[in-house]
A and B are shown apart, each in its own frame.
Chain A
């Protein structure tokens, strides 16, 4: 009897651990969703008080918060375009061509992913101080920083997609009278596009959520994470949870939306 129970436990221990860890990962998101419907008892939305949709109805009760969101989104869009463009080109070069500096560039691309954010921000600030002066810190220095640290992630994502592509396809296109430009437009690009989109999404998420590098290079600007961090000491309104929940729901919708074509394809076949 006991050995049977032990056997069951052994077989399922991996499953149990996995479930627990997944719950661990999801728990804060659940709390965030739930507490967005809370009416905080005081200035901190930490304890459940009573149900209220007030925060959802008045998301911009604090105008500072909403202007910081607007700034974060604007920065994220521009940084995404920049990082995706630059990173995709690099990914193509790395996957499709041979060149001498390959190893060095591999390391150069890896470092921003591995380095602590605080050092990248700090060194960048000293660079700006010495070139454009501390007064010029602001919107564009944030964008520059965001493109800098997103670049490597874009390269990794696009590279993965590109490497998985059958190399004979481009040869087949050339065999069928497609010039290099036509081959790129009609064969390569459509097949890599999912990777590029995923990279753009990743870049957007990294930008909109960044605190450490941003706060060091922001000058007087205030992005959303900066707002949350700064106001943390004296208040945590439910609106914060509303914004977080919205971001989560948009992400989940995006993931679900990306799966739809796949599901339709398998249904039809």
Chain B
């Protein structure tokens, strides 16, 4: 029985000994600083960005609000290939992360035993070192004419990948869409594994036994028992991978080529290195933000908010 606040009987006279519960201000005091911080530095900036996106001008002259909605259409037409790249890479990355992350999370959750925490630490620990440096390390592993590249060339895998458009640089692994996706999967895998693991770990292993008792083979048990129960984790993991991946550009910058440019790079360039790119960058930022909000709100509508955090 959850303790609800005591409610005064309607019409009962407050006699001595009857308790009165004040409106407790404590939660609001605790919430205020953190929530205000986010409102001020996360929410409100979205609105200023909308305003910025319809401005024109330059760094020298300053920017003025001209309500130039054409900024949006210009941006989309100019950078449509970069947008396509971002979407394609992040979808590929999310799918691959799911395919790799699920078995990993499953193994740790159900076969990990007392090594569970250690294994999860191993999954997360690499993320604690500079991801820029780790991404650079892939330059070594996938180096042009290096052992990995040469091996894959020998078994003709690189020909297949080039056929699919994954390799653009003379069948070298680096500086190609393949390398970009590869790097993204590497960087985002923990983001997928963590929510998946949390969700799987909560499943009572005796449910597997119940499944077996009711004529399910190993695969069927997974299909009919484990998979549906892990769905919240799958969705959370997908959200937390896909959305950040769309905006990511470190991998594209370090492991890609000018042909693999993504919108993140566009935004950075326009914001930092262009005379009049500030409204353009804002427009792209707004589009991405709105997209994010829509996806998250759609998810919340279906699944409620309690599982989010």
Please say whether the chains A and B touch (CB closer than 8 A).
yes
B-binding residues in A (CB < 8 A): 14-15, 17-18, 21-22, 24-29, 31-32, 35, 44, 46-47, 85-87, 89-90, 92-94, 96-99, 102-103, 105-120, 122-127, 129-130, 144-145, 147-148, 151-152, 155-156, 159, 205, 208-209, 211-212, 215-216, 224-225, 228-229, 232, 236, 240-241, 243-245, 247-248, 251-252, 255
Task: Summarize B's interface: helix, strand, loop or mixed.
Answer: helix
A-binding residues in B (CB < 8 A): 24, 26-28, 30-31, 33-35, 37-39, 41-46, 48-49, 51-52, 100, 103-104, 106-108, 111, 119, 121-123, 125-141, 143, 146, 186, 189-190, 239-240, 243-250, 253-254, 263-264, 267-268, 271-272, 278, 281-282, 284-286, 288-289, 292-293, 296-297, 300, 304-306, 308-309
Contact at A18–B48, with CB atoms within 8 Å? no
Contact at B37–A151, with CB atoms within 8 Å? yes
Contact at B42–A120, with CB atoms within 8 Å? yes
CB distance from B115 to the nearest CB of A (A): 11
Contact at B35–A115, with CB atoms within 8 Å? no
Q: Choose among B33, B48, B104, B288 the residue that contacts A116 (Cβ–Cβ < 8 A).
A: B288
Contact at B126–A28, with CB atoms within 8 Å? yes
Given contacts A106-B308, A111-B296, A159-B309, contact A122 B49 (CB under 8 A): yes
Contact at B309–A155, with CB atoms within 8 Å? yes
Q: List 13 A-B contacts (CB under 8 A).
A: A28-B141, A89-B30, A92-B30, A94-B309, A109-B38, A113-B240, A114-B292, A127-B41, A212-B248, A212-B250, A216-B268, A224-B130, A251-B129
Task: Summarize A's interface: helix, strand, loop or mixed.
Answer: helix
Contact at B264–A86, with CB atoms within 8 Å? no
CB distance from A47 to the nearest CB of B (A): 7
Q: How far is the CA of A228 from the CA of B135 in the complex (A)?
A: 11
Given contacts A118-B247, A148-B41, A255-B121, contact A127 B48 (CB under 8 A): yes
Given A208-B130, A252-B125: 12 more A-B contacts, CB < 8 Å: A26-B122, A32-B129, A99-B28, A106-B305, A106-B306, A116-B243, A117-B248, A123-B282, A123-B289, A126-B51, A145-B41, A212-B264
